[in-house]
Chains A and B, each alone.
Chain A
Amino acid sequence: MARPAQLSDAWRDRLSMLSRWAAVTLGAYALTVFVTAALSVVLARTMGRVEAVTAATIASFAVFAFASMAAFHARSALRAWTWLILFAGFSGLILTIFSE
């Protein structure tokens, strides 16, 4: 029974690596989409819409860099996804509250 177990371990590692890279790239990007949109509608309450769009987008690249590094460093791919989804959900909530 040792061999099939090993094989499935190797596949689990491979899948977990794939899932982690998906979190680092696509996941971090999806989070950035929500954070940028949320930040822009919040800022739009205090400054002009055009200004808010520019300010939030300038910040978006830093958000992505931080999110992807955090996702790569997370203890497991599952944890990375959990945090990404939690933060994205929170930003999504702010986005719906603040946009008319």
Chain B
Amino acid sequence: MKAGLRQSMAALHTWTGLVPGWILFIVFLFGTVAFFNEEISRWMRPELTAAPISSRALDAAGAILKDKGAGAASWNLSMPAPRDGDGFGISWIPAGGSFKDRQKLTLDPVTGAETAVRDTKGGFFLYRMHFDLHYMPVMWARYLVSIAALAMLVAILSGIVTHKKIFTDFFLLRFGKGQRSWLDAHNVTAVLALPFYLMITYTGLVTLLFTLMPWAISANFPDREAYYAEAFPSAPEVEPSGRQTAMLPFNALLRRAEQAKPGLYPSVISIRNPGDSEAVVEMYMRSDTLGGAREPLQMRATTGEIISMREPRGPAAATQQVMIDLHAGRYSGIVLRWLYFLSGVGGTVMVGSGLILWTVKRRAKLPDPTRPHVGFHLVERLNIGFIVGAPAGIAAYFLANRILPTDMADRADWEVNSLFIVWGGLFIWTIARPAKRAWSEGLAAGAALFALVPIASAITTTRGLPASLMAGDALFVSFDLVLLATAGFFAFAARKVTRHQPKSAPRRKQRALEEAMA
């Protein structure tokens, strides 16, 4: 290849961006949404009260577990976090049962009274979809996502080399100019949050560290188990004595943990052999700090004596922890969280516009635009199906949460299925239509679905937009407003596509313009 560095990197950028482009779009879209996964969970469980946990609720949990969970091998408490969307949950596995027989209750964080909450996976599903995809084994999904992310890293770096005028293009967004506009859109969204994309892609690879690169383990350890045994030594197993001894109340255990680990708060508390004199309490700490030691804490349930505190790991592990925290953004406050979200939206638009640019650039050069070659046809159809279908699917997920009957069997699964049914349906519909029609109809369907969510929410729950406004509930108000804004954006795009009329331009240019929006 005799071409200069910029030309060769441009070609590399095109292909490393296109081939994994649709997976990257999904990863960006769901990852962006997942920055608000706790808030989404809260919106999807409108029955929950959001409040810090009270000592009264902790005592109530203790009483319920002692009564219903007597003789259980273990008890679990999932503690509500400040942004929490899962509520205060307790669970236990009845004596002699297995994990399948696990009993779960959601309690009010203030009174400790049992609360009936609709069955939903909430924001957690959208978060998992970001790297585990769906309807396929988790490991396959993680390989796919990791490979796409590695290609993304190469696409970003080669994109930087390709880009001549990073600073000037920052201020350039020319509308209504066909290919030029798509390139501008791709450049502006790419440059605007460039450090964010580099950070999020690299740290994303680090979250799935050994998925693609297990070789350093192979070079130093006989197998993965040996590595994990050394990296995460497990505390010695404590055998139950068979003697009954009352354990300390949860409130006292929490005070004890606060003394041992100031500033950290458990997200999950698990008690092994509850009621036994050798009962052990394990506390897993919340991950809402940037870096820092968060090793679980173990103590004796009867005395609160600390059994083991895993030693903080070394600098490499600390680096890894900071990278993972930067990626997940759980440490961020509300302003930073919105910046994360908006940068994610920028990334989604960057990937989407890059995919569209590929077709726009090539359409003008097609020998016969009415009969494009297979590759072009495939890219165009995948673009419509993913860029329009996936967001519409998310709208359907929210809509299903509000309209499916609360007593429906496997309700949470059907919410998830709704997402894919709508996405798949739109995909098939758009394949059957001419490209321009497919875009405008798909976008209009997306707009309608997003607009329907706040309406359905107002009808089926007591926490619709008017009620939330009256109650000054910032989270519910913002959620509905973001949905309406998204609906507005989709409607605007649909209108743009439908109304697009090529102006008097040279024939070749005119065609490029027309199809740029098609």
A binds B: yes
A residues touching B (Cβ–Cβ < 8 Å)?
A: 20, 24, 32-33, 36-41, 44, 47-58, 60-62, 64-65, 68-69, 72-76, 95, 99
27 of the cross-chain contacts (CB-CB < 8 Å) are: A33-B213, A37-B215, A40-B215, A40-B219, A40-B220, A41-B219, A41-B220, A48-B314, A49-B230, A50-B227, A50-B231, A50-B314, A51-B314, A51-B315, A51-B316, A52-B316, A53-B217, A54-B209, A54-B317, A57-B215, A60-B215, A61-B153, A61-B206, A72-B11, A73-B1, A75-B1, A76-B1
Contacts A50-B227, A57-B210; A33 near B215 (Cβ below 8 A): yes
Q: Are A69 and B158 in contact (CB under 8 A)?
A: yes
Those of B298-350 within 8 Å (CB) of chain A: 313-317, 319-320, 323
Contacts A49-B230, A53-B220, A69-B158; A58 near B316 (Cβ below 8 A): yes
Q: How far is the CA of A52 from the CA of B1 in the complex (A)?
A: 38
Please tell me which one of the listed residues A44, A55, A57 contacts residue B213 in the complex, with CB atoms under 8 A apart: A57
**Hey, which chain B residues are within 8 Å of A51, CB to CB?**
313-317
Residue B221 lies at the interface, judged by CB distance under 8 Å to chain A: yes
Q: How far is the CA of A93 from the CA of B11 in the complex (A)?
A: 34
B residues touching A (Cβ–Cβ < 8 Å)?
A: 1-2, 5, 8-9, 11-12, 150, 153-154, 157-158, 161, 202, 205-206, 209-210, 213, 215-221, 227, 230-231, 313-317, 319-320, 323
**Hey, which chain B residues are within 8 Å of A48, CB to CB?**
314
Please tell me which one of the listed residues B5, B205, B216 contacts residue A56 in the complex, with CB atoms under 8 A apart: B216
Q: Are B220 and A61 in contact (CB under 8 A)?
A: no
Contacts A36-B215, A73-B5, A75-B1; A61 near B210 (Cβ below 8 A): no
**Hey, which chain A residues are within 8 Å of B320, CB to CB?**
54, 58
Distance from B195 Cβ to chain A, minimum over Cβ atoms (Å): 16
**Hey, which chain B residues are within 8 Å of A68, CB to CB?**
12, 154
Of residues B2, B215, B314, which shows the largest number of chain A Cβ atoms within 10 Å of its Cβ? Answer: B215
Of residues B153, B313, B316, which shows the largest number of chain A Cβ atoms within 10 Å of its Cβ? Answer: B316
Distance from A44 Cβ to chain B, minimum over Cβ atoms (Å): 6
Q: How far is the CA of A14 from the CA of B209 in the complex (A)?
A: 35
**Hey, which chain B residues are within 8 Å of A37, CB to CB?**
215-216, 218-219
Q: How far is the CA of A20 from the CA of B1 in the complex (A)?
A: 10
Of residues A36, A37, A52, A54, which shows the largest number of chain B Cβ atoms within 10 Å of its Cβ? Answer: A54
**Hey, which chain A residues are within 8 Å of B11, CB to CB?**
72
**Hey, which chain A residues are within 8 Å of B153, CB to CB?**
61, 64-65
**Hey, which chain A residues are within 8 Å of B202, CB to CB?**
61-62
Q: Are B316 and A55 in contact (CB under 8 A)?
A: yes
Please provide the 3 A-B residue pairs with the shortest distance between their CB atoms, ordered closest to farther. Answer: A40-B216, A37-B219, A55-B316
Distance from B129 Cβ to chain A, minimum over Cβ atoms (Å): 23
Distance from A41 Cβ to chain B, minimum over Cβ atoms (Å): 5
Distance from B13 Cβ to chain A, minimum over Cβ atoms (Å): 10
Q: How far is the CA of A68 from the CA of B1 in the complex (A)?
A: 15
- Nearest CB in chain A to that of B317: its residue: A54
Given A39-B216, A57-B215, A61-B153, 9 additional A-B pairs, CB 8 A:
A49-B220, A51-B314, A51-B315, A53-B220, A53-B221, A53-B227, A55-B316, A57-B216, A99-B220
